[in-house]
A and B are shown apart, each in its own frame.
Chain A
Amino acid sequence: MTMIDEGRLRDVLREAADSFEISEEAIDGVRTQAQASKNESWLSHVPVLARLPGSARGLLTAAALVLIVGAISLPLLRSEGGPSQSASPAHRSSSGQVVSGTALKTATSLKGLPTTLTLTGSGETPRPGTSSTSAAASLAPKIESTGSVHLMVGQGKVSSALATLGDLAIRDGGFVLSTQATEGTRVTKSFSNGSIVLQVPQHFFASLVAQVQRVGRATSIVTSSNDVTGQYVDFEAQLKALDASRGQYLAIMTRATTIGGILAVQNQLDTIESEMEQLQGQINVLDNETTYGALTVSLAEAGQQSHVVTPRSGLAKAWHDAIAGFVHGFEWLIRISGPALFAVLCLGVLLALGRLVWRATRRRI
């Protein structure tokens, strides 16, 4: 057994500690300094949070936690529930399914300038607090429209129907973007079918859809409109900013005296001009898409089985809904894991900081 001689330890410690005299000057020094700080309130040296009573401190901490969790989860919730809020049913097909929404939400962002523009229909005003709102308000709405119509026509009338559809587009100031036809034969007992993509000016799009339905029997109509005004304004603003930067670099270029300086400025100019060209291209695409509406019409002879997928019902529908729900749930879990991890990290850091502050506060005394 190993033991410690406590008596010896006490003696040696006492001997070592008593080996010097405590000077009175040191005590006087403490006394003097204590007198000097006599009137000083110790409260001024304690952090505000530590001075609060326990309940108030708890409330403040809880409020801070709620703020952090809210700040993390709100954008997430917004992104989760966004599209379904602004989608609105507009038309129903002959088979009864919802086929189009005329107003959709558009959310875009400009570098450094958060912008969110939501237009729920052509008559509504955009939400305030966005950088592109004022610019968008002064700009004519940029709406891109697309759609598809499935028509059943009589036996041997696919070709003539295609020609009629082409005429409809041209009459409205549009054109035929593409066309495709397959001729059926009696030998192989196959049916004729075809498809045509029509582009007409935006303001004729709705009338074109109506006229197309008269060419045959429409089995499904799907149209969608998307307001891209905000996106358009963002692109234009970016282009404007880049153009201003380009001007500044050009001014710098005139003052550059060394080859290295000129090359550096030229490099920047190349980058900016490349970005400008990309933006201009995107603007052109948006311009084109919003100038003309595109309608795809697919034609089939009567008696041919429709390609339109009929809505499932009963057990099959339930089964597919279950699978879709499972996949969506899994996707949601993956999506939320990032913010959740971030929230946990924040909480951990907060707890660690709180513990440090608490210990430091206790140590001060």
Chain B
Amino acid sequence: MEGSTDVNDFEAWLQECYPQSVRTAYLILGNRLDSEDAVQEAFLRAWKFRDSLVKESSIRPWLYRVVVNTCTSKLRQEIPHRDRRSGGETLADVAANDDFAGRIALSHDVMSALNDLAAHLRIVVVLRYYADLSEREIAIAIDRKPGTVKSRLNEARRRLAEHPALRSEGPGDSTSSEEISA
């Protein structure tokens, strides 16, 4: 999708990117209401600053950048100073609602591992493995160099690999696994 100031384009943004942005924010913030707030704020901000969007560039990483910045701002300013909102489902709650015992345990472990990561590492993991952004796109989204993204991803993978639920031993699953340390 190309950047535009047309209202129709905003409608297209909403239809195409809003749901995935909310889900991405949810994985970063760990709270549904916070994530909806953050994405609403991010979309309005993006709309307000739409003229600064480079016409030729893809809107996706740019929009993610606004979302990530809003999430980071919330993590820094609002969320640490209050209890999590009641009524909003947390990642752990979601995992616990699953019917299948094995999947519950797996999801719970993975979400715990994700939540244990520092925010800057969690963001790159979510953008990489949920939003499916390339390292270059993540670099645009978090306003850092690709090398920084690579380094953060490696660090996040190393930490996540400490959790048994995500550890994969041996070269057997080389198609889906990535070696992170020798």
Contacts and interface: CB of A to CB of B under 8 A. Distances in A.
A31 B7 CA distance: 9
B95 interface: yes
Given A12-B110, A20-B94, A42-B51, A7 B179 contact: no
B168 A3 contact: yes
Interface string B102-144: 0100110011001000000000011001100000000000010
Contacts of A13: 27, 110, 114, 126, 129-130
Given A3-B180, A26-B40, A15 B27 contact: no
A3 B66 CA distance: 32
Contact of A8 (B36, B66, B166): B166
Interface string A20-57: 10100011011101110110101001000000000000
B110 A3 contact: no
Given A6-B178, A12-B111, A40-B48, A34 B26 contact: no
B157 interface: yes
Interface string A254-270: 00000000000000000
Interface string B89-101: 1010011011000
Given A16-B91, A16-B111, A31 B26 contact: no
Nearest to A35: B7
B2 interface: no
A4 B180 contact: yes
A244 B178 CA distance: 84
A6 B167 CA distance: 9
Given A16-B94, A16-B95, A365-B52, A2 B181 contact: yes
Contact of A6 (B36, B94, B129): B129
A80 to B, nearest CB: 47
Contact of B169 (A3, A37, A40, A365): A3
A327 to B, nearest CB: 51
B22 interface: yes
A17 interface: yes
Nearest to A29: B40
A320 to B, nearest CB: 60
A31 B180 contact: no
Nearest to A15: B107
A37 to B, nearest CB: 6
B18 A4 contact: no
Nearest to A359: B143
Contacts of A5: 166-168, 173, 176-177
A364 B49 contact: yes
A9 interface: yes
Given A4-B166, A4-B177, A38-B7, A30 B129 contact: no
Nearest to B110: A12
Contacts of A363: 69, 73, 143
A20 B48 contact: no
A85 interface: no
Nearest to A14: B130
Contacts of B22: 22, 26
B49 A42 contact: yes
Given A13-B129, A45-B48, A30 B14 contact: yes
Contacts of B165: 8
B11 interface: yes
Nearest 6 A/B pairs, CB to CB: A17-B23, A7-B176, A3-B177, A12-B110, A5-B168, A13-B130
Given A9-B129, A15-B107, A16-B94, 4 more contacts: A3-B170, A6-B176, A8-B166, A13-B130
Interface of A: 1-10, 12-20, 22, 26-27, 29-31, 33-35, 37-38, 40, 42, 45, 362-365
Interface of B: 7, 10-11, 14, 18-19, 22-24, 26-27, 32, 36, 40, 43-52, 65-66, 69, 73, 89, 91, 94-95, 97-98, 103, 106-107, 110-111, 114, 125-126, 129-130, 143, 157-158, 160-161, 165-171, 173, 176-182
